[in-house]
Every structure is written in C-alpha cells, then in structure tokens.
Amino acid sequence: LCLAAINNILLFCLQNLCISTSTSCVEIGPTICTCVPLLLLICFSLQEKKKTELCQELSLQARDLRFQHTTSLTARNNCIILRMAALKAILTPESLMVLDFRGLGLERWLVLELAPQLASQTHTLPFEFRALEAILQHKVNTLQARLNEVEPVILDTLESLVDPKILSADRSKLHVLLQNSKSLSELETDIKMFKDSMLKVLDEDETVEEFCLTKWTDPRVFEESSLGIDHAEEMELLLENYYMQAEELGNRARELKGLIDDSESVIFINLDSHRNVMMRLNLQLTMGSFSLSLFGLIGVAFGMNLTTAFEDDPRAFWLVTGFMFLGSGLIWRRLLSFLGRHLETSVPPRVMQTHTQTLCLVMCSCKVQSA
Amino acid sequence: LCLAAINNILLFCLQNLCISTSTSCVEIGPTICTCVPLLLLICFSLQEKKKTELCQELSLQARDLRFQHTTSLTARNNCIILRMAALKAILTPESLMVLDFRGLGLERWLVLELAPQLASQTHTLPFEFRALEAILQHKVNTLQARLNEVEPVILDTLESLVDPKILSADRSKLHVLLQNSKSLSELETDIKMFKDSMLKVLDEDETVEEFCLTKWTDPRVFEESSLGIDHAEEMELLLENYYMQAEELGNRARELKGLIDDSESVIFINLDSHRNVMMRLNLQLTMGSFSLSLFGLIGVAFGMNLTTAFEDDPRAFWLVTGFMFLGSGLIWRRLLSFLGRHLETSVPPRVMQTHTQTLCLVMCSCKVQSA
Amino acid sequence: LCLAAINNILLFCLQNLCISTSTSCVEIGPTICTCVPLLLLICFSLQEKKKTELCQELSLQARDLRFQHTTSLTARNNCIILRMAALKAILTPESLMVLDFRGLGLERWLVLELAPQLASQTHTLPFEFRALEAILQHKVNTLQARLNEVEPVILDTLESLVDPKILSADRSKLHVLLQNSKSLSELETDIKMFKDSMLKVLDEDETVEEFCLTKWTDPRVFEESSLGIDHAEEMELLLENYYMQAEELGNRARELKGLIDDSESVIFINLDSHRNVMMRLNLQLTMGSFSLSLFGLIGVAFGMNLTTAFEDDPRAFWLVTGFMFLGSGLIWRRLLSFLGRHLETSVPPRVMQTHTQTLCLVMCSCKVQSA
Amino acid sequence: LCLAAINNILLFCLQNLCISTSTSCVEIGPTICTCVPLLLLICFSLQEKKKTELCQELSLQARDLRFQHTTSLTARNNCIILRMAALKAILTPESLMVLDFRGLGLERWLVLELAPQLASQTHTLPFEFRALEAILQHKVNTLQARLNEVEPVILDTLESLVDPKILSADRSKLHVLLQNSKSLSELETDIKMFKDSMLKVLDEDETVEEFCLTKWTDPRVFEESSLGIDHAEEMELLLENYYMQAEELGNRARELKGLIDDSESVIFINLDSHRNVMMRLNLQLTMGSFSLSLFGLIGVAFGMNLTTAFEDDPRAFWLVTGFMFLGSGLIWRRLLSFLGRHLETSVPPRVMQTHTQTLCLVMCSCKVQSA
Amino acid sequence: LCLAAINNILLFCLQNLCISTSTSCVEIGPTICTCVPLLLLICFSLQEKKKTELCQELSLQARDLRFQHTTSLTARNNCIILRMAALKAILTPESLMVLDFRGLGLERWLVLELAPQLASQTHTLPFEFRALEAILQHKVNTLQARLNEVEPVILDTLESLVDPKILSADRSKLHVLLQNSKSLSELETDIKMFKDSMLKVLDEDETVEEFCLTKWTDPRVFEESSLGIDHAEEMELLLENYYMQAEELGNRARELKGLIDDSESVIFINLDSHRNVMMRLNLQLTMGSFSLSLFGLIGVAFGMNLTTAFEDDPRAFWLVTGFMFLGSGLIWRRLLSFLGRHLETSVPPRVMQTHTQTLCLVMCSCKVQSA
C-alpha cells in the first residue's frame, strides 16, 4: 500500500528528472533503483495535489509541509521534517524524500553524493542517522564553502586597503569589501539560525528521542546493534557534532568581522596621517610663499615710478636683491623652526600672535634699514 | 442570557460601523450576521459603561481590559486578551471581540479578511486556534510590511551614498537614511516586544494549556478531532511558528542595521580618500605657485628702478626670462618628486628642513649666477 | 499596644510636617486622621532612636532599615520594605510608613495623591496591593516624567544638529546633547535597577507569596474576596504590569540612544561633506591663482628694466596682455576639467606628473611663442 | 591541641609584625591578645613549612591554600577560604586567619579596624558572619575608593576636553583620560569578578548553607538566637547585600564608560566644526587673494615696458587703479555670496564651472573695457 | 591481552620518537620504561590501521577518534578523549596516550615535563586526575604564553602611537598593532572555546562523574583515599580551577581590546588636534599673505607706466612704501584678532561678510587716501 504510493511518486520524480537533466538521467535512474532497494531516495517536485497525497500517506498535516522557515528541523509523527535553505526533505525510517529540488543546484549533490552515501551498506547505524548526517554535513559544507569564498576576498581586500603607502583608499576595493561584508553578515545569520534550530532539538531530551525514528518502528534494529549504545545518546552526539562545527564557523566569521573593524580603524588612521603629513608640507610651503611675498614687497616698492635716492647707485640693486632673497630665506627658516617647536610642545596658538609681533618688528626694522 | 448581551453589543457595534463607513456597511452587516451564526465577530467601540458590562459578562476584572502595554497576550478566566499595537481583542471559545477598532485602518482587514477567514468551515481546528492564527498572521504581516517598506528605501539610499564617484554625501539622502534608520529601530523594538510576549507564553507549559480555550469548555471538540493531536502541543506549534517568523524578521532588520553601519564606514573612507586626493592636488599646485613666486622674485628684482649692468644687453631679457620659467619648472619637478617619495616612505618631515636648506642653496646659487 | 506606639510616631510625624509645611498642615493633619481610620499613613522623620523603636515594634532588625540600595523591594517578617530612590517605605498589612520624606519633593504627592488614593474604599483588593500599586505607579510615573523631559530636548537638539545646511555644529547644542545623553544613561540605569528588583521578586514564586501580607495575617479577607482569585497570582500580575511598563520605558530610552548614535554619524558625514565641497572650491581657486601666477610671470618679465625688441611696438602691449589673460583662463579651464575627470575616475595622482609635463611644455611653448 | 598550635602561629605572627612595624607593635600586640580571647585574629606570614602545618591543623589540602585566583570565595571542610586581591584569609568558626598580609597596605586596616570590629560583643550574629561582613565591606570599600578616585579625574578631564572654545584637544589631558580609562576597565573587571564569585555562592542553596560554619559546629548558637531566623537565609541576605553594592558600583562604572564614549563623539564634532569654520575663513581669504591676483594682473600688464596709448593721460592712473581695487572688491563679494548660496543649497560643484565661465567673461570684458 | 597490544604501540611510538629526535631518544626511552611501570605514556603516530586497532582495544568507535573540533573534552566508554589544539590524547585509568604528536613542538613538553610529572608517586590522587591536570595546565600555560607574547607588543605599540608629540601615526607600528590585534582575537576565540568545552562538562553533574575513571574501574582506590573526599567533587574543583584561570586570561584579553579601542580614539583626537593647530597656523599665514597682496596692489599700481602726480616727490616713495608695510601689518593684526574672537565665540561665519565690507571700506579709504 504505502510502497505502491511511494513508487508512484518515484516514477513521477524520475520523469521530472529526465526533463531537467535529459542526458545524465538515463544512467542515473537505474543506479538509484538498483542500489537502493530499501532506502528509497525520492525526489519530489512539489504540486499541491501530490502534497496532499503525501500528507495522507505519512499521516502528516498540510501545515507540516509548508516549510515556512528557511531553517527548521522538527520531528513529527515518526518523520523528521527538515529544511536547510533550498533543501526541503522528509525523513522516514525507510526513505528520504527530497522535495522541490529542481533548479536549485542540488541535483549534482543528490545524485552523485547523497545516493551512493545512503546506499553503502557498511554502516551499522540505522538509516535515519545516516541520512541526517549526510544532510547536516551537506549544510555545514555549504556554510563552510560560503565562508571559504568570502574569507580570502576580504583578507586580500583588507591587506591592500591597510597598505600604509597608499594615499587614498581604492574605492573599487571598498565596494568589494562592502559586498563581502554584507555576505558575511548573511552567512552569520544563517549560521546562527542553523545553530538555533539544532539547539532547539538538543535542549530537550524528549525531542532528541523523537528523532530516533527506527527505535519506534523497529526495536529489533536497536538490539541488533552490537555496540550496546543508546540511540538517543547517539543522536545527541551526532547533532552536537554539527552544532559545534557550526559554532567554529561562527567563530571564524566573528573574527573576520572583528578584523574588518580593526582594519577600518587602521585605514582611517592611515588616511589621517597622510593628510597631516601633507598638511605640514603645505604649511611649510605656505610659510615659504609668505616669506617671498613679504620680501617681494620690497622689490615691488622699488619698482614704483617714484623717486628714491638709490636710482643711480650701482650697488643698490645687488644689496636690495640680496636682502630680498636672504631675508625671505631667513624668515622662512625661523617660521619652519617655529612650526617644529610649536607642534612638539603643543603650546596654545596664542604664541603665534606674539610671534607675529616679532614679525612686525622685523618688517619695521626692514623699513628702517632700507631707509 | 449571554448571547442576548452579546447581541446587544453587536447591534451597538453595527450602528457605529454605519456611522464610520456609511456606504459599505449595508452589504457587510448582513454578511457577518448570516455567515457567522456561532462565531460572532463583535466590533466594539470602547465606552466606559459598555466596558464594565463586558467585564461582568465575561467575569473579567476592569484591569484586564485596560490594555496598558502595546503588545500583550494573556489568558484570563477562559478568555485570551491580546493587544497588538492598535488591535485590541478578547477571544472567547465562541467569539472574537475587537475593541476600539475605529479610525485605525483596521476596518478593511476586519471586514474583508478576518470575517470570511473565521467563517470558513473547512478547518478542523477549534475556533480560538483559527482566530489567534488570523490575528498573529495579521501582526506578522504588518511587521513584514513595515520592513518591506523600509528596506528598499535604505538599500537604495545606501547604494547611492556609497557611490565612490560622489565627492560629498547628498544630505537629503542622509536625512532619508536617518528617518528610515529610526523607523527600523522602532520596528526592531516592536519585533522584540512581539517575540517577548510570545516567549512569555511559550516558556511555561501551563500558560500554553490555558490558551486552549475549547479544551476547557467543550471537551467533546477535542475528542472529535480525528488527528488525535494534543491541543496544547498544537497551540505551542502555532505560537512557535509565528515566533520564528518574527525572529526571521528580526534577523533581517539586524542585518540591515549592520549594513548601514558598514556603509557608513565606507562613506567615511570615501570622503576621506577624496579629501586626500584633493589635498595632494592642492599641495602640488601650492608647490607650483611657490616655485613661480621664488623665481618671479628675480623678475621683480629686475623690475626695480635700480641700476643693473644689463639694461642694454639685448640677450639679458631672454636669459633672465628663460631662467625664471625653466628654474621654476625644475624646482617644481623636484618638489613633486620629493612629495612622491615623501608620501611613499613616510619619513618624518624633518627631511623637509634639510631640503629647504638645499632650496636656500639653490637661491644662493641663483644670486651668484645672476651676479 | 501596637496602635498606641504608632499613634506616637504619627504625632511626631505631624509635628515635623507642621514645621516643614506650616500652612498646609492644619487642614491636612485632620484629613489623614479622619479618612484613614485603619489605613494609617505614617510619615516618619528618621532618627536613630525612633528607628530602633520602630524595629522592635515590627520585629525587624536594624539592618533591614538601613536602605543601602537605591532601589530595593523585599519582604521581611510580614512587612514589605521598599526603597525607590528617595522614597523609603515600610508596608505592613495595615499601614504604610514613609520614612525620611522631608525635603525630597515627596510631600505633595504623599498628601495630595497617596493619602486619598489609599483612603478610597471602592477597591476590593487588600491594603498592601493598593499601597504597592500606588508606590510602583508613582515610581514608573517618575521614570516616565524623566524620560518625557529628556526626550523632546534630545530630539530637538538632534533635529537642529543634523540640519544639512549648517556648516559647523552649534557647540552649545552639543553641550545640551551631552548633558541629556548623560541623564539618559542614568535613567537607563535606574530603569534597569527597577526592573532587576522587580525581577528578583517575580523569579521566585515563594517571594511573590510573601508579598501577599494580608493572606498571612487575615485569611478571612482572602475568602471574602468574591472574585475567587489567587492572591499570589494577583500580586504577580501587579508586579508584572509595572515590570512591563518599565520595559517599555527602557525600550524607548534604548531607541533614543540609538537615534543619538545614528545622528552623530550623519553629523559627521555632513561636516565631512561640507569640508569636501569647500576643499573642492578651494582647489579650484588655487588652480585659478596658479594660472594667474604662471601667466603673470610673463608680465613681470616684460616689466623688467631689460631691453626687449618690442618696447616701441604699439600692438605688443595688447598682444601680451591678451595672451596673459586668455592663457591663464585656458589653463584654468584645463585644470578644472582635469580635476573633474580626476575625481570621478579616481586615477592615482601620478597622472598629475605627466600633466605637469604638459604644463612645462605649455610654458616652453609660451617662451618660444613670445620669442 | 588546636589552640596550642594557633598560639604558636600567633606568636610567630606577632614577631613578624614587630619587624615590620616595630614601634606600633608594642601597644597593638597586647590589644589583640586581651580583647579577642576567643576570636583570634591570626596574621600569618606564608612559609611553605607553616602552610603545611596549617593544612593539617584545619584538615585542608595543600591545594586549597594555593589562592590561584585573584578573587575567590569557597567553603571547604568547615572553613571559608577567601581571597580578595591582596587579602588572603581562612575563616573558621572561631578565628579569622589573614595570610601573607605584609607589605600590602593591609596592616592599618587589620589592626585599627578589623580587630576592634571583630572584638565588639554587641552583635548577636555568629563570628563567621561578622568576619565575612567585615571583609566583604572592606573589599567593597576598596572598590568604591578606586571608583571615587577615578571618577572625578575623568569627569574633570572630560569637562575640559569638551569645552567648545578650545581649538585642539590638550594632549596631556588625553593622556590622563587614557590612563584613567584603563584603570576604569580594570576596576570593571574586578567588580565583575567579585560579583561572579558572590554569584557562584548565591546560585546554589547548599553552598550558602556550607558558609554558615557555626551551624555545623555549635548548633546551640543557632538556637540561642532569639530572632528565630534561618542562618542560611541570613547568610544569603548578607552576601546579596554586598553583591548589590558591587552591582551599583558596576553600574556607575558603566555609566562613566558611556560618558567617555559620548564625550569623545562630542570632541570629534567640536574639532570637525572648528576645522570647517577655519576652512570657510580660509576659503573666503583665498577668494580675496584670487580676486586681487586677477585684477593685479592688470597692474602688472600696465607695468610692462611696452607702449600703451595711456602713458601721458593723467586720469589713466586713477581709472586703472580704481578699476583694480573696485573690480577685485566686487568679484570678491560675488564669490563670497556664491559660496554662501553654494554651501546652503549644497548644489553639486559643477555650478562652479559655469561660474568660472562668467568669470572668464568678466575677464574678457575687462580687456575689452581696458581696450 | 590489552597490555600486549599497548606494548606494541609503545614500541611503535618509540621507533617514531627515535626517528624524530634521534639523539635524545636513547636516554629517554628507558626512562619512560623504567619510571612509569603502570602509568604508560604512549605516543602514537596516527595511522588508519593502528587507529582501528586502538578503537577495538578501548572499545571506542572510529568516530570518537576523529577529533573534529579544535577543542573538545569528552568522556566515552571509561576513557577521556580530549583535544587541545595540536594535542590529541586518550586518557584511560591506567595510561595516557598522546596521538599525532610529531612536528607540533610537543615533544619537549611530553618528554621533559609530562613524563616526570606523571611518574612522581607523591600524589594521592588517581592517575586520571594527575594526567588531566597536567594537560589542562599545559593548555592554560600555552594560552597564557600567547597572551604574554601579544600583550607587551600591543602595549608598547600603543604607547608610542598615542604619543601626543607625533604628527602622523607611524604606519609600520599600525601594521604591528593590526597583526597583534588579530592574534588577540584568535586568542580570545580559543579561550572562549576552552571555557565552553570545560563548561559543557561542568554544567552536568553526570558528566563530571563520568570523568572520574578510577571510580568505575577500581573502587578500592577511592576508599583508600584517606581524605574521604568525593571524587566527583574533586574533579569539579579541578576543572573549575582551570575554567577560572581561563576566565582571568579572557578578562585580560578583553581589557586589552578595550585599551586598543580607547587608544584609537585618542590617536584620532591627537591627529585631529594637530590638524586643527596646523590649519590655524595656515589660516594665520593666509591672512598675512592676503594683507600683503592687498597692499602690494598699491605698489603694483604705482609701478604702472602711467602718469601720477608724485613721480618727482622725494617723500612719496617713503610714504607709499611705509603705508604698504604698515597697512598690511595692521590689517593682518585685525584679521588675527578677528580669528581669535571668531573661534572663541563660534559666531556663525556670516559676520565675515560684514567684516569684508569693512575691508572694502578700508580699500576704498586707501584709494581715497592715495588720491
């Protein structure tokens, strides 16, 4: 009765599979059929009608198959219903049904990895343990792959952004960093949700026991197990194992976030330092320009069409020119050394005003001297 | 007895409804009356007098109907009293009373969605389950709608703000971002409060049982249910479902907050980078101006009304002019290459002082040469 | 025996009250005495001697009346001893004693609100419920008043600080913001401590039962209550109610903190944007000045007292002058368009060097042309 | 037997005490001996040999006296072994032994405060309660003293750093702030560790009971207590009291941290504002210099040794000079008003380019006009 | 049977040890054999074949020896299986097997410290206690060593980075800081994972009992212990001790992180302050240059080849020159004092415009005066 219904679904699934991957189907179809005589891998393309049939078959409620949460893991009426992002599956003691698998990039994994893995007879553990392990391992691998994809890009981008030689951050790299930082946040949320769904099962011993499907259907399997282990304990270990793997991924993601924050501080300090260095250079040049303007004024004064007493003195030109250049050079040096002292001692800038007074005196003395 | 009182309230409600939505009322009123013979949807406009009557009718205390918290969900004397922001409702095994519904934009939902939903007879679950589900679904939908409203605006604004080409942040967009960021915070608080009120019920098994109103009033309903499920467990699943939906919304809101923070860092780095680039250009131009001033001083010197030996030398003009332009060009190039090296090696700026000495030497040699 | 002692204290209290509020006392004193025959409102000015008497009266220990923590709520020997910041009170099944109330701004509330509230006979709840409710409501009101005082000031200040038009933050407003931000932190701590002290009671069912003083002294009161409610449950509801009100205040305070943080980011981006815009303008003007200096050098050259071949050419003046103005105008335009492209493409500034070479070429060509 | 050994240790201790504080010892030694006949205050200078003896005396293990954690509080074999930073003590029902007390600044407190406090006979509580209370009070006082030392320094420093008038942060104050901020972090950790060690005891009722040493050794003391209180409850109150005092200190420290963060934001906004104001002034002056350069070019042109038609026109000088000054003044005003509008409307700076075109036009018209 | 197998493994191990440390092996090998007759230190180089044998020997499952998590501590079938980063070990009641120890820098510790430590017969505690203590101590020491390595580097780097005298942050030090900050994050994660694995054991009393291996195998050992202590309690103390040591390390790491954050703020304020000081100097010099340009324009005007009335006035030169220098000096002083007032009062910069009007007036008056 039950098996007949399942066969129907299997046939339906294979037809769908043929449509989607027409060439590879021919050799895969038989493989599944031959090597999994009892452990059926049923791929099911979700249609409302079929779904209702499936519910009645497994005496589930329609609501149980709605898969409203992106990550969930629940035991219901001797079935484990789970969803890991794209992967929606129902796990009974004898079969694993994967729903809605098309167009999600899961075919390869389902056919090439999951099927042989479930078909291998070497394990002594019941079917649901092996199926759950395969699915959780796949989920953790997916999370790890996403982290492995994001991590080197972020590390490279940060490496080149914190390079102290660069004057301005390369904005295309900032964009890359922002994108990957967003991916990292999403990954962190997914890891957290995966951990939460595991924890919800692990927190209550009863729920863990409900997950041992074989225990309820076929007590013989349990006794046959030569190791004499407790099924619930075994299940707890299995779930805990993947919980801890997810936690390690979460730790790595958190460290990466911290590194981004630290690097951003370093980038800011770098940019600020560059700016300060440039500003100092700018200030030094402004001092030079100021000195030149100040003593250039003397030259402008002598260029006026007004009568001075020196028009015909042949030494006057060299004296005044020399004074202009030497004077501006000397003033510049004084300003530079003033700047050096000023920045080191960080005296409040009121000193500047007294300093400008000495400058005024210098100017006055210039005039006196030139007079 | 009880029904008579309820009918009174219903009539009162319909009168109010007529006043508020005079046209649509005529066809709605009968609809409610005909299709919900047992499951009364009672809309109640809060008046102190009526409230007291209602309390006595349901043997509640006045305090229970004060609705002091914006989000609450409690079982009291075989009633579920809940408030979800604007929606205040009392849920008995046979009726759902919505209080104070006018002017809150709830009429549409109450009449067009809630009424038919509760009236449909296809469900096998007791009335309080269906009503609670409808209300919680409405609340989650409201939260999701608010997030869906805020999210694209924030993403768009951030997208345009982190654009590396822009020199200065568009302040109107900053204002939009700030407003939406505030809305997001409020939404986060609401989600947290919704989750907390759910959690308070879920944390204690007794409270969950109290929520199964039908169980206490009509044990027959429970046995009739062919699924043989436990009502308390069913209620737990229902609440947990909406709790998890709220958690996913909360996760999305948190990610969005993180994205805003990350983007702000990128905006700061962008602005700082632009500033550094402009400062470098400015510095390069200041260097050019300085060179021109330095060698322009020679021109000013020769413009003085003082006697030089070159007044009548026809080549002197070209020599001095060429020296001025070439000299300033060369000095500028040296300064630029010095800047390049300086910023790359990040040597402390003391080198500048030794460099200015070479500049002084250059100036001296100028004078010597011109002499 | 007990009542006599309490009367003594009451008299003592009234004398004190007379001293402090000499005019209003006369009409208040009798009011208390007449309308609260059993429910004594005893205001007590703390003296070591009286305190010891009080301890013996209520068989408390001296340590219980030390009130070391700013917020505490404990049941001790059939009394509730509570302190809410300034308000120190002992609550027995028959009386509420407020200690040390003078000079704390509590007199108004005690006399005008608390006394009539406790004296009203309409409530069916025992005395300790009413007294506790009044005190907790007063505390929550105080917290809310503080938040209501701080919130609009902060919102206003932020509103004016994030105004994109202002170039520099108004520092007096920053000071206001800092002060209110500090008040907000203190308020958050107070709310947290209030919540913690409530939670400590709520967490253990026994403690909640100890709070129902009447239950222990007068079991008759309990049975008289027609509602048939459990006293402990009633007390839990009462405390939970105020706990949740405090939580809502806490949520508002947290949102406000978040808003301050977000606004500060926006202020920084605003200030940085303004600076970038000004820097761009400055750079554009520096470019203009540079162009003018460059071509002004030609004028300076022609101003030298050296022989050129053009002294008597009447067109030369216009040609050279035109070349100076047009040349500097053209160079400026090229520099501006270079700047525009440079900032958009964010090419590393090495291009500048090649550009300066073209500038050098321009200068050379100038000389050639002028030659 | 036991007392003999303790006396030996006491003598040993007194000798040590004499060495360390030779003058004050003579009057202290007897004081201890006379006033504490049963409640011995044993100060013990840790030597490996003596330590082993002590272990055997109290039937403790060597490991118990290793004091590996800076803050610990444990009951072991009817002794309370505690360490509060420098203070290492063993508390038996009859004596308090303080180990390793020399050179830690504890002598003063031990001799002047702890000894009389323990010797006073007025308390009705057993010895271990009084000793524990004295030690915990000392610890809380130490923590409070550290906070009281750090708090005003930080508040003062922040007060002067957020002063809106200062242009640049005083770096010596920043250093002070950083040092005290570090001390505050250490203090926070110490408070947290103190709270954790208290909480570890409080969390389990059994541990609290183990702390009531007298209960186990001398049940008579328990019954003699006229108050009829439960010892374990009494101990819980005592520990809870100091836990809450530590929590209040922790709250104050956290608030202080928050204030530092807020103030830093304000300092940054202040510095940025100052910079923007200075940059605006700088830009306005650059505009002035640009205007002067632009119209100064006319003067330079007329200064060239080239023939113009105006050499002998007496009005030409005044016309050109007036045009130079007025023109530069007008252009400056236009630039300033352009800047004002530009910063207010935050139009993208492309407008500048169109504006420079008008400037070019102005220049052209100048030439035309001068022609 | 069992011992024979172990001997095989031991021999295998010794051969490996010889290969890896050929010289030191000869004297070590016998040492192990002679001094540890019962307590075997088995070093095992992991090969799949041997691993399977080992599993069967200890009746463990293959999965138990996979060591998937970097830090784990579990009791399985009367063995403790633990991994602390590189160290993988199985602890039976009679032996400690260290797996895969080669090339990890563990040989030195294993041979020189662990072997003698386990061989010493002075302890009264069972073997598993001593072995576990040795391994946990080693782990904590490793963590502490890493912290001790990172801490002084960070403190030194921060010390030199927050030096208020430096104008720009030394980028090589920033790099060092970033590297060590990353190491610190990794260390924090490791400490957290160590604490979590300890806590997982400590949280459940059953797990702690499972860790007392001797209790189950040899109840005699337990009774022989003269101290009469409970083994489980003893184990709890041992684990708690290392948990608290790890917590103290974690606290130190957290404090260090906080110090880095605080220092970064101080660095930013320092850099910003420097920039503001330099900007003020720059502004003051720009004011000077502006004054010189303004009054230099007079000189340029008089240098024009146009007719003035003063050509032959001998005082005109001195008057005009004096006016130029004095005027620019005076204007500069006014600008400086304006700047001082402006920055102190933080008046909105509109005042500048009215000020420029006074400047225009000055210019006008100049012209009038010169006219």
User: Other C-beta atoms within 10 Å of A119: how many?
Assistant: 17
pLDDT of B248 reads: 92
C349 has a chain D CB within 8 A of its CB: no
The per-residue pLDDT for range C327-355, each reduced to its tens digit, is 999 999 999 998 888 877 644 444 344 45
Binary contact (D167, E245; C-beta < 8 A): no
Binary contact (C346, A168; C-beta < 8 A): yes
**For residue C121, pLDDT beyond 70:** no
Residue B308 corresponds to which tokens in the numbers above? Answer: 């030089």
Indicate which of C226, C276, C287, C331 best probes the interface with B, i.e. most B CBs within 10 Å of its own CB.
C276
CB A205 within 8 A of CB A232: yes
Which residues in chain E are contacts of C167 at CB distance < 8 A? 349
E122 has a chain D CB within 8 A of its CB: no
**For residue A302, pLDDT beyond 80:** yes
CB D78 within 8 A of CB D62: no
Which residues in chain C are contacts of E349 at CB distance < 8 A? 167
D353 has a chain B CB within 8 A of its CB: no
The closest of A262, A240, A259, A261 to A251, measured between CA atoms, is A259
Kindly report which listed range (A63-67, D26-30, D118-122, E333-337) carries the lowest average pLDDT score.
Answer: D26-30
CA dist E186 and E164 (Å) reads: 31
CA dist C124 and C230 (Å) reads: 14
Burial class (CB in 10 A: 0-12, 13-18, 19+), C282: buried
Binary contact (E181, A262; C-beta < 8 A): yes
Look up residue D232 and give its amino acid: A
Which residues in chain E are contacts of C168 at CB distance < 8 A? 346
pLDDT of D257 reads: 94
D283 has a chain C CB within 8 A of its CB: yes
Nearest to C310 among D279, D303, D306 (CB): D306
Binary contact (A302, B297; C-beta < 8 A): no
Nearest to A171 among C303, C346, C349 (CB): C346
Residue D289 corresponds to which tokens in the numbers above? Answer: 């210099």
Binary contact (A346, D168; C-beta < 8 A): yes
pLDDT of A166 reads: 75
Kindly report which listed range (A47-61, B282-296, E199-213) carries the lowest average pLDDT score.
Answer: A47-61
CA dist A356 and A358 (Å) reads: 5
Binary contact (A244, E175; C-beta < 8 A): no
CB B237 within 8 A of CB B214: no
Helix (H) or strand (E) holding B41: strand B40-44
Which residues in chain C are contacts of B336 at CB distance < 8 A? 352-353, 356
A234 has a chain C CB within 8 A of its CB: no
C320 has a chain D CB within 8 A of its CB: yes
CA dist E96 and E134 (Å) reads: 11
pLDDT in tens, chain E (371 residues): 344 444 444 444 444 443 333 333 333 333 333 333 344 555 555 555 667 777 787 878 777 777 888 888 988 888 888 888 888 888 888 788 887 766 667 777 877 777 777 776 666 677 888 888 889 999 999 999 999 999 999 999 999 888 877 777 787 888 899 999 999 999 999 999 999 999 999 988 888 888 888 776 655 554 544 444 577 888 888 899 999 999 999 999 999 999 999 999 999 998 998 899 899 999 999 999 999 999 999 889 888 888 888 888 888 888 988 998 999 999 999 999 988 888 776 544 443 444 555 554 555 454 444 44
Distance from CA of B151 to the nearest CA of E (A): 31
Give one word for D105, left, alpha or beta, with left for phi > 0 and alpha for psi -120 to 50.
left
Binary contact (B346, E167; C-beta < 8 A): no
A349 has a chain D CB within 8 A of its CB: yes
The closest of A101, A102, A77, A71 to A91, measured between CA atoms, is A77
B349 has a chain E CB within 8 A of its CB: yes
CB A44 within 8 A of CB A88: no
D170 has a chain A CB within 8 A of its CB: yes
Which residues in chain B are contacts of A318 at CB distance < 8 A? 371
C164 has a chain B CB within 8 A of its CB: yes
- Please report the sign of the dihedral spanned by the C-alpha atoms of residue B60, residue B61, residue B62, residue B68: negative
**For residue D108, pLDDT beyond 90:** no
D304 has a chain B CB within 8 A of its CB: no
Which residues in chain D are contacts of E340 at CB distance < 8 A? none
Q: Taking CA atoms, what residue in B is nearest to E167? A: B348
Distance from CA of E198 to the nearest CA of A (A): 14
Distance from CA of B172 to the nearest CA of D (A): 10
The per-residue pLDDT for range A304-351, each reduced to its tens digit, is 888 888 888 888 888 888 998 999 999 999 999 988 888 776 544 443
- 3-class SS string, chain D: CHHHHHHHHHHHHHHHHHHHCHHHHHHHHHHHHHHCCCCEEEEECCCHHHHHHHHHHCCCCHHHHCCCCCEEEEEECCEEEEEECCEEEEECCCEEEEECCCCCCCHHHHHHHHHHHHHCCCCCCCHHHHHHHHHHHHHHHHHHHHHHHHHHHHHHHHHHHCCCCCCCCCHHHHHHHHHHHHHHHHHHHHHHHHHHHHHHHHCCHHHHHHHCHHHHHCHHHHHHCCCCCCHHHHHHHHHHHHHHHHHHHHHHHHHHHHHHHHHHHHHHHHHHHHHHHHHHHHHHHHHHHHHHHHHHHHHHHHHCCCCCCCCCCHHHHHHHHHHHHHHHHHHHHHHHHHHHHHHHHCCCCHHHHHHHHHHHHHHHHHHHHHC
Kindly report which listed range (A306-310, D259-263, D274-278) carries the lowest average pLDDT score.
Answer: A306-310
What b-and-e string marks burial along E30-43, b requiring 16 or more CB atoms within 10 Å of the CB?
eebeeebeebbbbb
CA dist E23 and B19 (Å) reads: 102
Which residues in chain E are contacts of A303 at CB distance < 8 A? 299, 303
Indicate which of A275, A290, A302, A346 best probes the interface with D, i.e. most D CBs within 10 Å of its own CB.
A346
Percent of chain A past pLDDT 90, that is, above it, reads 28
**For residue D327, pLDDT beyond 70:** yes
Mapping DSSP to helix (H, G, I), strand (E, B) and coil, where does residue C230 land? coil
Q: Taking CA atoms, what residue in A is nearest to E288? A: A290
C289 has a chain B CB within 8 A of its CB: yes
Mapping DSSP to helix (H, G, I), strand (E, B) and coil, where does residue B224 land? helix
Residue C86 corresponds to which tokens in the numbers above? Answer: 């300034």
Look up residue A151 and give its amino acid: E
Distances (CA, A) of E229 to E223, E234, E361: 9, 7, 99
Q: Who contacts E246 (Cβ-Cβ below 8 Å, separation ≥6)? A: E140, E143, E191, E194, E195, E198
DSSP for C324-351, written as a single string: HHHHHHHHHHHHHHHHHHHHHHT--THH
B to C CB pairs, distance under 8 Å: 186
Place of tokens 């040699």: B365
Nearest to C271 among D259, D272, D371 (CB): D272
The closest of A34, D96, C304 to B300, measured between CA atoms, is C304
Which residues in chain B are contacts of E170 at CB distance < 8 A? 346
CB E110 within 8 A of CB E97: no
What confidence category does residue C219 fall into, taking pLDDT thresholds of 50, 70 and 90? low
Neighbours of chain C (3+ CB pairs under 8 A): A, B, D, E
Distance from CA of B69 to the nearest CA of E (A): 37
The closest of D317, D326, D309 to D362, measured between CA atoms, is D326
Mapping DSSP to helix (H, G, I), strand (E, B) and coil, where does residue A339 land? helix
Instruction: Flag whether the pTM goes above 0.90.
Output: no
CB B185 within 8 A of CB C255: yes
CB D346 within 8 A of CB B168: yes
The per-residue pLDDT for range B78-134, each reduced to its tens digit, is 888 888 888 888 888 878 888 776 666 777 787 777 777 777 666 667 788 888 888
What b-and-e string marks burial along B242-267, b requiring 16 or more CB atoms within 10 Å of the CB?
bbbbbbbbbbbbbbbbbbbbbbbbbb
